Amino acid sequence: MTDSEKSRGDLTTEKQNPLSADLDTLSTIEILTVINNEDSAIADRVKEAIPEIEKTVEITTEAIQNGNRIFYIGAGTSGRLGVLDASEMPPTFSVPQNWFTGIIAGGDDAIRKSIEGAEDKPENAEKDLMEAGLSAGDVLIGISTSGAAAYVMAAIELAKSNNANTVYLICNPEPYLDADADIIIRVDVGPEVITGSTRMKAGTATKLVLNMISTATMVKLGKVYGNLMVDLMAVNDKLVDRGTRIIAQLTDLDYEDAKSALFKADKSVKKAVVMVKKNCSLEEAEKTLEEAGGAIRKLLNSD
């Protein structure tokens, strides 16, 4: 079936959900229970897409190792969730700001308010991607829960023409608009509690998938030791405390000595651990980490 023969009404995310058909007649607790029951199935739907998510992590990891970047692009809720995930990478894993970049149709103003019709302007995708610096070898993850955003489809086509890797994340069995992406992640969330309101189940599924992609990529790049956030930079009191406790756990120092080590390492947890374990200076720790590709496990296992 060609795109021109498709009907938006055939999309599962546009169909009425029989389990919420009488939603406006229910009590508050009943409304909340319906929403919660529908949400509870989302993780299983995401689980079915793990093979495609795995392939995505493989290419995002390789891209960053090769000096390339990851782009999320979407409209409305999809775009906002991409911007959110990208913005959380630097403070969580101490990575450069441009490793992950979120782009939303309509520009930054669309993060806080709806820009009507932005998803239907494919011509803006090229401008936005070129301004963001998309290049060959990068990874573009186009997010469109219905697969109906012309802006996202155009972005995927442009990325492919520039020899970037492409991923299409949708929340229907098939997209409304076909795109020749290298990987298609399909999370079939079914009809929404409020018909067509993809900020709900589809939004939840999107957040879960983006968390998995970015987190697994960071783990593969050595930004985590065990399940500890060893690459955080202690930029506030909460993170100073967390970093201190991580250092104490990995080095057997008491809390105060671990905190002192953190500040000697310019508030870098990973560097502090290396300084303590190797009994070396900050400069030596930095060199040692660089030679190990930032993988602290290799260094700790060598003791």
The CATH number for 256's domain is 1.10.8.1080
Please report whether residue 226 resides in a domain: no
Residues 6+ away with beta carbon under 8 Å from 243 = 232, 234, 262, 267, 269, 272
Give the model's confidence band at 178: pLDDT under 50 very low, under 70 low, under 90 confident, else very high. confident
Are 189 and 155 contained in the same domain?
yes
Active site residues: 88, 119
Are 76 and 139 contained in the same domain?
yes
8 A C-beta contact, residue 102 and residue 179: no
8 A C-beta contact, residue 93 and residue 222: no
Are 283 and 195 contained in the same domain?
no
Please report whether residue 225 resides in a domain: no
Quote the domain boundaries for residue 292.
237-301
Are 198 and 269 contained in the same domain?
no
pTM: 0.90
Closest CA to 118 of 77, 161, 71: 77
Are 56 and 89 contained in the same domain?
yes
Average pLDDT (15-36) is 95
Q: Which of 220, 246, 263 is the last residue of a domain?
A: 220
Please report whether residue 227 resides in a domain: no
Please report whether residue 230 resides in a domain: no
**At residue 109, does pLDDT exceed 90?**
no
Are 132 and 274 contained in the same domain?
no
pLDDT of the residue at 12? 85
**At residue 152, does pLDDT exceed 80?**
yes
Are 208 and 257 contained in the same domain?
no
8 A C-beta contact, residue 82 and residue 141: yes
Q: Which of 220, 248, 268 is the last residue of a domain?
A: 220
